[in-house]
Homo-oligomer: A and B are copies of this chain.
């Protein structure tokens, strides 16, 4: 049994802070449990009460004469730590802290929350604080206000930091046929966080889809690893909010989470195959899609429209979402010509039936021809189904009878059954006035008829294609198989760590110079122009002779970071005379411009031939840890910000994808007769950098700029590593 099971299927619950007032959180929670027919024992606890909802109120959890599986704490924030200590004493292993007034409300709250987290570490798992609890039909527990939630279980799991969203999302989705395995509102996540819940739900056999509403993440690294490790096994829907400036600030006052940077979240979705939700409707729409079509679907679409305008709108939405409206074969079009009217229709994809009221016979013929057609993975039908009332409103005397309607509704169900191809339906609201409410009722009935046959129904084309794109993406990820981080040979790793440790020991500054930075990189197999340090003119010439001309020379001094600005760099030095002169000039310039600088010498290195200048960098994201950046080098690219990111460690697919993600990618492939560069080599190099970063948490930032790429290989020409402040301090002590 997993320790989180107690939150969803507890044998007994103590509600602490359940006063006699029925509007209190505790009493409402008990009422909700009673309403949903919770089957275990409920105990009420309050310092000063006698009875609530027919239950005796104990003064303390310690007075309850039996074991408690789950404590639900609804007392004022400042009382929470003491209550939890009593729970610990009582041997309770799981507690939901609903109370607010913690990290989200300032300093004192943060202190209290830290205290709660410490107590949790002593043997009680805590969900919350500042949450609404859990809903699990199987265990007959529910959130507040969830007494009226369905007792019927389903296969969708949902986690949300926000209590209100846990209630709002589930509440909205029931009417659309969604039933849940488990829902958790986990609030400030001081103990149980999104990663714990994701891990739990990914293993949970009752849950076939995991959806989430995240303001921030507490353990991004682990959330990322779990998501990636399960890519393709279950759809993971992530609605990440708080990425805007004010959104992040609002999130911080709401649950105190830091919102991750947009680019890193982009990487998260690329790397894990998790499906990004843009909002509430999209989240529920996508749940509906996966409930009906749990395997996902292919990209090839045929659209059947009752009327021409919808073909245009549908085609636009299809392309915008990356689905493909596939051309029909001549044979398919010929067959369609046999059944469609000659005027006012279209037999190309998207098909225009001519008007919105086809006979069942016509619709059946069209769907069967299309379903049998090659390259069509999914059939979308729009503006074909209407209730009798709408039909008589729109068509007048020629309107559909009840029997006609029933026959028509059956057609897509039969087609799907016979051809095994998914069908999705656009069923719009027609009139939206108060007086039209019956039309909406009828619309919902038609919708539910299709839902019962696993045919997803949406009010608009945009929604249909948004969901189809998610279904198709999931299918692709599923077929792709597991995603595992690339592994590098152990030897390089241990040598690399040794070199870094030695450098850390010697270094008095966090910014490593080019020589030291490259020394570490070299151990990881990164091809680079190796600098030789020269402390005299003769030594410089000797170094150049050893390296081979032309060479580049640069000043080496911890005090001089912008070397070019003070005349500390010379390039294209072609002979001993050049080198000798350059040594004199560089050292003189340094002495003149930065008199206080301690000059360690001049670095001499091979001058790399011209090629395509790239940049590889790394920094640390507060939520996900080390992140690798790739892009084109040079000023123009800085302006255009044409870079892409991946969370470390990378898989081989990540290395391939990050390179192809930048807009300037055609340059790498060889644009306008320019030679292509060695893309495979760069992929390999990115994996080496990823390994180096993964091995050495002491590295805070890093960049190779430029990395010059050629038709054959690439070479790191300049490089820098910056260490964590703490590393230097610790070793300096």
Contact = CB atoms under 8 A, between A and B. Distances in A.
Interface of A: 22-23, 28, 31, 77, 100-101, 104-105, 130, 145, 147-148, 160, 162, 164-165, 167-168, 171-176, 213, 215, 241-247, 249-251, 253-255, 279-281, 307-316, 318-320, 325, 342-344, 346, 348-350, 352, 356, 383, 393-398, 428-434, 436-437, 440-441, 444-445, 448, 460-462, 632, 635-640, 642, 663-664, 666-667, 671-672, 674
A315 B671 contact: no
Instruction: Tell which of A147, A308, A356, A445 has the most Cβ of chain B within 10 Å.
Output: A308
Given A254-B312, A356-B164, A247 B213 contact: no
A432 B175 contact: yes
A316 B639 contact: no
A250 B176 CA distance: 32
Contact of A246 (B307, B325, B428, B429): B325
Given A145-B394, A164-B309, A249-B315, 7 more contacts: A22-B398, A28-B396, A101-B343, A213-B309, A246-B325, A253-B311, A640-B664
A163 to B, nearest CB: 8
A476 B395 CA distance: 44
A343 B318 CA distance: 47
A683 B212 CA distance: 50
Given A249-B315, A445-B434, A281 B164 contact: no
A671 B641 CA distance: 13
Nearest to A254: B308
A116 to B, nearest CB: 15
Given A172-B431, A309-B164, A437-B444, A315 B247 contact: yes
23 contacts: A22-B398, A104-B308, A165-B309, A167-B394, A168-B430, A241-B313, A242-B316, A246-B350, A247-B315, A249-B315, A250-B312, A250-B348, A250-B350, A253-B308, A254-B352, A280-B460, A432-B444, A437-B440, A635-B674, A636-B636, A639-B663, A640-B640, A640-B663
A246 B324 CA distance: 9
B249 A174 contact: no
Give the 4 A-B CB pairs with smallest separation, nearest first.
Answer: A175-B432, A175-B433, A244-B319, A162-B309
B394 A344 contact: no
Contacts of A396: 22-23, 28, 31, 145, 147
Contacts of A77: 343
A51 to B, nearest CB: 16
Nearest to A316: B247
A127 to B, nearest CB: 17
A582 B239 CA distance: 66
Given A175-B434, A250-B315, A308-B253, A145 B281 contact: no
Nearest to A77: B343
A319 B145 CA distance: 31
A717 to B, nearest CB: 19
Contacts of A672: 635, 638
Number of copies: 2
Nearest to A243: B316
Nearest to A632: B636
Nearest to A459: B281
B343 A105 contact: yes
A176 to B, nearest CB: 6
A664 B642 contact: no
Contacts of A642: 640
B175 A431 contact: yes
Nearest to A281: B460
A472 to B, nearest CB: 16
Contact of A255 (B308, B320, B383): B308
Contacts of A246: 315, 318-319, 325, 349-350
A167 B308 CA distance: 13
A165 B430 CA distance: 12
B398 A241 contact: no
Given A281-B460, A666-B639, A312 B175 contact: no
Given A23-B398, A393-B148, A640-B663, A319 B433 contact: no
B319 A247 contact: yes
A427 to B, nearest CB: 13
A642 B664 CA distance: 11
Instruction: Tell which of A280, A349, A383 has the most Cβ of chain B within 10 Å.
Output: A280
Given A253-B308, A640-B642, A313 B279 contact: yes
A101 B354 CA distance: 11
Nearest to A313: B241
A348 B431 CA distance: 39
A80 to B, nearest CB: 12
A61 to B, nearest CB: 24
A251 B160 CA distance: 43
Contacts of A346: 250, 253-254
Contact of A244 (B175, B316, B397): B316
A352 B253 contact: yes
A128 B74 CA distance: 68
Contacts of A342: 105
Contacts of A168: 309, 428, 430
A385 to B, nearest CB: 15
A180 to B, nearest CB: 15
A329 B546 CA distance: 67
Contact of A664 (B145, B325, B398, B636): B636
Contacts of A167: 394
Contacts of A104: 308, 344
Given A100-B344, A105-B343, A247-B316, A437 B434 contact: no
A483 B152 CA distance: 62
A71 to B, nearest CB: 21
Contacts of A215: 309, 312
A172 B429 contact: yes
A52 to B, nearest CB: 12
A594 to B, nearest CB: 19
A320 B244 contact: yes
A276 to B, nearest CB: 13
A35 B559 CA distance: 88
Nearest to A349: B246
Contacts of A343: 77, 100-101, 105
A397 B639 contact: no
A174 B308 contact: no
Contact of A639 (B171, B313, B352, B671): B671
A539 to B, nearest CB: 34
A386 B138 CA distance: 30
A251 B312 contact: yes
Contact of A164 (B310, B325, B349, B639): B310
A640 B631 CA distance: 13
Nearest to A307: B164
